[in-house]
Amino acid sequence: MNALPRQKNIAMSEFEKTALNKVVRGNKRAAYDEKTIFEIADSHFLCHLAYVYEGTPIVIPTAYGRKGNTFFVHGSTKNRMMNFLLKNERVSLTITHMDGIVMARSVFHHSFNYRSAVIFGKPSLITDWDEKMEALTLITENIIEGRWDEAREPNEKEMRATSVMAIEMTDASAKIRAEGANDEPEDMNLDVWAGVLPLQVTVGDPVRNDDCKPGLETPQSILQFEFDPK
């Protein structure tokens, strides 16, 4: 199967504010349009999924892919989180970019600049072989575009040991902070530096496995990889 491109189809509709997705704290930073939510999602590949196991909330990071309004995650067929989430009518995943540390004149007003999206949707298990392979392709290509065609595809044993969950988005919201420190008026004359320390993810030089065949060149997907969350 040929590699699929990262999703860049941006819709213009907006989600209705509900008790579930409404941003209450700092609502001036909220956004409910698909364009903003997809921009945040399409410039990352790591999300966090939450579930409750025997009364204890657990949050797990995992890779994802997207096609239209559907997000895909995968794991072992014995994966505790996946098996629990598939029993629910609705689940949520969160995607976060950390853009900067905001340092104010007071400790109380220190903060972060960030972009985050919380996506709610209906989970389902993908059982069709071709759909499952397509979802795994999307997840792989969302991490490093072009890698699917460079590496071996999953074999039958690996496919049977892997569960793929689709999350059909029904509600979502985004929250974005992109500004300097907001200090109290009485603190403005303090001899304390205030401002933003930007954060960036830097891609280092590839580290070749010691057991690679001699003479293998670094593949194109690795050479051209950039993590640009903007």
Q: Quote the pLDDT of residue 17.
A: 87
Helices (H) and strands (E) in the chain, counts: 6, 9
Per DSSP, 44 falls in state -
Q: Is residue 127 part of a domain?
A: yes
Q: Is residue 17 part of a domain?
A: no
Q: Is residue 210 part of a domain?
A: no
Q: Is residue 204 part of a domain?
A: no
Radius of gyration, alpha carbons of the chain? 21
Count the domains in the chain.
Answer: 1
| pLDDT digits (tens), the chain, 230 positions | 444 444 444 445 888 888 888 887 877 888 889 999 999 999 999 999 999 988 999 999 999 999 999 999 999 999 999 999 999 999 999 999 999 999 999 999 999 999 999 999 999 999 999 999 999 999 999 999 999 999 999 999 999 999 999 999 999 999 999 999 999 999 999 999 999 999 988 899 999 999 999 999 999 999 999 886 55
Q: Is residue 117 part of a domain?
A: yes
Q: Quote the pLDDT of residue 19.
A: 83
Q: Quote the pLDDT of residue 230.
A: 59
Domain with residue 139: its CATH number is 2.30.110.10
Q: Is residue 163 part of a domain?
A: yes
Two tokens, residue 198: 């930007």
Q: Is residue 125 part of a domain?
A: yes
Q: Quote the pLDDT of residue 2.
A: 40
Q: Quote the pLDDT of residue 229.
A: 59
Q: Is residue 133 part of a domain?
A: yes
> Which structural domain range is residue 117 located in?
27-98+113-178
Q: Quote the pLDDT of residue 9.
A: 45
Give me the DSSP letters along 196-222.
EEE-----------TTSPTTPPPPHHH
